[in-house]
Amino acid sequence: MYYPLTSCLIFLFLFSLFYHLPCASSKQELEWCETLFQCGDISAGFPFWGGNRPESCGNASLELHCDIKNITSLNISNLSYNVLQINQTSNTLKLVRADLLGSFCSATFNSTILPLEISEVLPIYKSLTIFYLCNPRLQYLSSYTCPGSGRGLVSAYQSPNYHSSCQGSFTVKVPTSFFPEVEKLNLDFLESVLRKGFEVKVKNDEILCEECSSSPALYRRCAQPFSCGDQGGLLFPFWIHGREDCGHPDFKLHCSSRLAELNVSAGTFRILDANYDSRIVRLARSDFKDIMCPTKPLHVPFDKSVVLPFAPDTMMLTIYYHFR
């Protein structure tokens, strides 16, 4: 019998701060944040930034770009998305993958993966799995052969586990009303559907930002860094007793003479370093601070979607023990 133990042991986890600092650090930056991003018919405020709107006025991963044709774009997971619409009243964003605006067979065959700052795809859309490099000697439903593109035979299906005889697959977002043809895939129709894009909800801490910027006294107090244990220069989203309105509820710190600790899921992590320039906080499991083999090791399921996503060069490590 063996048991999984998710921990850092001698490895230190690196996590990207999920929550961008919601309040600018100076009066001048507050004035800059009153400027909206403008590009053609698109205008946007917090949590977006870009153009004449500085990074300190938005979420680090939600930078908008404007090209010479006044087309607004957003880079997500190494893919470029054109922004068709931003509705800041409903916190919705309409996106279309730039590589799917042309020929489908020439697109980047990668899945549509949204960042944690975008909370969900609206329920009127669903995922469609595209299989490619399928065995040409077999019969597939809703199939099409991409001529001379290196993609080979492709097939669209709603189940991600449909084909075992294809060398690759990826997902795209389509309306729930879209269903591939039974016999042959109508590629022109699929392309027209993909070019219309899809809508998503955006996580927004604008209420916190407005409260901070609208109250000079609160702004002055929350703009002052604080210390906890061996860590200094701490700011939002962290907070301690007496600074409840200057932090996020999930980021309460526990301070001792030597440590600044944070509860994540069922475990306690100590802060090794918090870098506000790179928006990276380095954490380590507290129960492995003095001993590598605790008597009752805990399995701590780290829910990245709720608290902190990993930095790009970090991954979970599963350790097994009590082998027989």
CB 155 within 8 A of CB 131: yes
Q: Please name the residue ranges forming H helices in 223-307.
A: none
Band of residue 267 on the pLDDT scale cut at 50, 70, 90 = confident
Higher pLDDT, 13 or 239: 239
- pLDDT at residue 27, rounded to an integer: 47
Q: Residue 258 is encoded by which pair of tokens? A: 């030597």
Q: Please name the residue ranges forming H helices in the chain.
A: 27-33, 187-194, 206-214, 216-222
- pLDDT at residue 291, rounded to an integer: 63
Cα 10 to Cα 217: distance, rounded to the nearest angstrom: 44
CA-CA distances (angstroms) from residue 114 to 6, 117, 121, 198, 239? 25, 8, 9, 12, 29
- pLDDT at residue 139, rounded to an integer: 84
CB crowding 286-312: b at 16 or more within 10 Å, else e: bbbeeeeeeeebeebebeeeebbbebe
Q: Kindly tell me if the per-residue pLDDT of 182 is higher than 80.
A: no
Band of residue 290 on the pLDDT scale cut at 50, 70, 90 = low
Q: Kindly tell me if the per-residue pLDDT of 59 is higher than 70.
A: yes
- pLDDT at residue 96, rounded to an integer: 96
Amino acid found at 80 = S
- pLDDT at residue 223, rounded to an integer: 74
Q: Residue 204 is encoded by which pair of tokens? A: 């927004």
pLDDT digits (tens, 9 = 90+) for 124-144: 999 999 999 998 888 888 889
Highest mean pLDDT among 95-104, 154-163, 225-234, 289-298: 95-104
Q: Kindly tell me if the per-residue pLDDT of 7 is higher than 70.
A: no
Cα 127 to Cα 159: distance, rounded to the nearest angstrom: 9
Q: What is the DSSP string of 72-86?
A: EEEEETTEEEEEEEE
What three-state secondary structure class fits 250?
Answer: helix
Give burial (CB, 10 Å; 0-12/13-18/19+) of 68.
Answer: exposed
Band of residue 32 on the pLDDT scale cut at 50, 70, 90 = low
Cα 156 to Cα 244: distance, rounded to the nearest angstrom: 50
Cα 79 to Cα 22: distance, rounded to the nearest angstrom: 26
- pLDDT at residue 140, rounded to an integer: 85
Q: Kindly tell me if the per-residue pLDDT of 31 is higher than 50.
A: yes
Least confidently predicted of 107-121, 168-182, 193-207, 281-295: 281-295
Band of residue 190 on the pLDDT scale cut at 50, 70, 90 = very high
The pTM assigned to this predicted structure is 0.58
Give burial (CB, 10 Å; 0-12/13-18/19+) of 27.
Answer: exposed
Cα 249 to Cα 143: distance, rounded to the nearest angstrom: 50
Amino acid found at 7 = S
Q: What is the mean pLDDT of residues 96-116?
A: 89
Of 64, 29, 35, 71, which Cα lies nearest the Cα of 50?
Answer: 64
Task: Supply the mean pLDDT for the chain.
Answer: 78
Cα 99 to Cα 101: distance, rounded to the nearest angstrom: 6
Q: Residue 179 is encoded by which pair of tokens? A: 């269903």
Band of residue 150 on the pLDDT scale cut at 50, 70, 90 = confident
pLDDT digits (tens, 9 = 90+) for 193-246: 999 999 999 876 554 455 445 555 566 677 788 899 999 888 878 889 888 877
State what percent of residues in the chain have pLDDT above 70. Answer: 72
